[in-house]
Structure 1
């Protein structure tokens, strides 16, 4: 999946502009990079379009994932994107669904297993059979 398609899909899923979708994607991927191990972040980054790799860059001194739950994940995305938490939660779902469509093999599944059960309501829509673009 190319960058423009990725942004367009998130924009449609969140019913926002492309520029707003870009902010939501960046905020979600930066937060995801904090939550995953460095190796998993790199595995994911190589499968995404180049502009999406920058927010996934792990810091050189941190290989271990930070441990925080879904509520903290959403709160961090909300702050980074400058949106309320319900909008951030919807954005995270949209980005996860689009990431799943963009990567090959079991990469998304490998990402999901690193997340605790309280992430389930944000991840399950992406795992649903036939999870496709939500039409407005």
Structure 2
């Protein structure tokens, strides 16, 4: 799946335009990468389409922040409201799971606190 197909699926699932979905996808991946250990973020990037790998920044340190801050960070980068952002993140996570597979996705989710379940549950 390439970046356009990824964004198309996110757009359909979240009820966003393709441009909004593409922006949201990049913002979600970047914010997620900051929440993961550097090793897990690098591992995740290996499974992404080439054009989305740049959305996963290389860093040395894992940041600690909760769901509200996650949504706020993505929202501030996309200009979407909280509801649109939350739906978009769920759609991006569903699509991410399809792209990277259950095992890689489970490793990613295992690094997130339980409060993130609302963003990652039902992403089958």
Query: TM-score, length-normalised on structure 2?
Result: 0.94
Larger Rg: 1
Question: What residue in structure 1 maps to residue 17 of structure 2?
Answer: 17
| Residues 45-95 of structure 1: per-residue CA shift (max 9 Å, x gap) | 110101111110223xx2x31011111101111101111111111111011
Aligned-partner Cα distance in 2 for 1:57–1:74: 18
Contact 2:35 2:64 in 1 (8 A): yes
Q: Secondary structure at the match of 2:16?
A: coil
Check if 1:5 corresponds to 2:5.
Answer: yes
Structure in which a larger fraction of residues adopt helix: 2
Question: What residue in structure 2 maps to residue 66 of structure 1?
Answer: 63
Query: TM-score, length-normalised on structure 1?
Result: 0.86
> How many pairs align?
124
Residue in structure 1 matching 2:122, options 122, 125, 135? 125
Aligned-partner Cα distance in 1 for 2:77–2:58: 17
Aligned-partner Cα distance in 2 for 1:75–1:109: 24
Aligned-partner Cα distance in 2 for 1:35–1:26: 14
Question: What residue in structure 2 maps to residue 53 of structure 1?
Answer: 53
Check if 1:77 corresponds to 2:74.
Answer: yes
Gap runs ≥5 in structure 1: 132-136
Contact 2:33 2:56 in 1 (8 A): yes
Gap runs ≥5 in structure 2: none
Q: Secondary structure at the match of 2:54?
A: helix
Task: Map 1:83-94; keep pairs closer than 5 Å.
Answer: 83-94=80-91
Question: What residue in structure 1 maps to residue 37 of structure 2?
Answer: 37
**TM superposition outliers: structure 1 runs of 4+ over 3 Å:** none
Q: Secondary structure at the match of 1:56?
A: coil
How far did 1:105 drift? 5.1
Aligned-partner Cα distance in 2 for 1:29–1:104: 16
